[in-house]
Amino acid sequence: MGRQPCCDRVGLKRGPWTIEEDHKLLHFILNNGIQCWRTVPKLAGLQRCGKSCRLRWINYLRPDLKRGALSKAEEDQIIQLHAHLGNRWSKIASYFPGRTDNEIKNHWNTRIKKRLQLLGIDPLTHQPIDKEKYQEEPDDTEKLSTTETYDKRNETENFIENATDISLPNNEYHNMLCENFDVDLWNKSFKTMSSATCYSPSISLETGESINLSTTTESSSNNVAAPAEQDSIQQWMDSIFSCAVNQLEEDLFFLRKYN
């Protein structure tokens, strides 16, 4: 038995939120901030549980939420991230400022899943469905146990997280990126972030040499980011790294499989 529902206390309201409730919650949080969700409904004068308030804030009232449908580029990026992270929606959502995990999860379940199926791709494994049939009985060497799959996923995630240093020091990822640089992939990734571009899309190598990754965007005269640009750069780097790691993993997968 798990914990009892938090909203089963008598008198607590459930279901859709009214404009008045939204108003109360929004005003309370904007004026007081959030210390403890459990106390929020009481202090804000709401007949809701804290959990319900939290969800309403995160998924609907937060001022930094981005409204509107997800773009094709965002969808593509979700697919890429899902291939690495699985159904870890909050992790995936962290790559999309202003989008919620719930929104991305819903979008995946109602649209992307179908789109992939129409393209003959299994949304769970991200492999072609025909190929899956062909692989019904893979070699023992190709089978990964649940633990191995989990380790691999963590490894990838740690790899991405550790590789988000904007200064690109002499680390493993830096070397891999330079050795396996894929212009098309880079351009594709760069385009997905085009709305946030306010920086010079180039990276500096240890040799002092600089790779200019500009496509149609103007390059600035230096590569030092102004503080206000740090967030968009971080988003951009996150996007690039996830796509690049995905590409490397795919390459490794096929090398291992067919060599």
Partner DNA sequence: AACACGGTCAACCGCTAAATG
Partner DNA sequence: GCATTTAGCGGTTGACCGTGT
Residues making contact with DNA (CB under 7 A): 1-3, 5-8, 14-17, 36-38, 50-52, 54-56, 59-60, 69, 87-91, 101-103, 105-107, 109-111, 114
Residue located via tokens 């005003």 = 27
Strand partners, 202: 212
- When the beta carbons of 76 and 157 are compared against DNA, the nearer one is 157
- When the beta carbons of 155 and 251 are compared against DNA, the nearer one is 155
- When the beta carbons of 34 and 226 are compared against DNA, the nearer one is 34
AA identity, residue 125: T
Q: Cα(181)–Cα(196) distance, rounded to whole angstroms?
A: 22
Burial 186-223 (b: 16+ CB within 10 A, else e): bebbbebbeebbebbbebeeeeeeeeebeeeeeebeeb
Q: Are 178 and 212 in contact (CB under 8 A)?
A: no
- When the beta carbons of 68 and 169 are compared against DNA, the nearer one is 68
Q: Map residue 226 onto helix, strand or coil.
A: coil
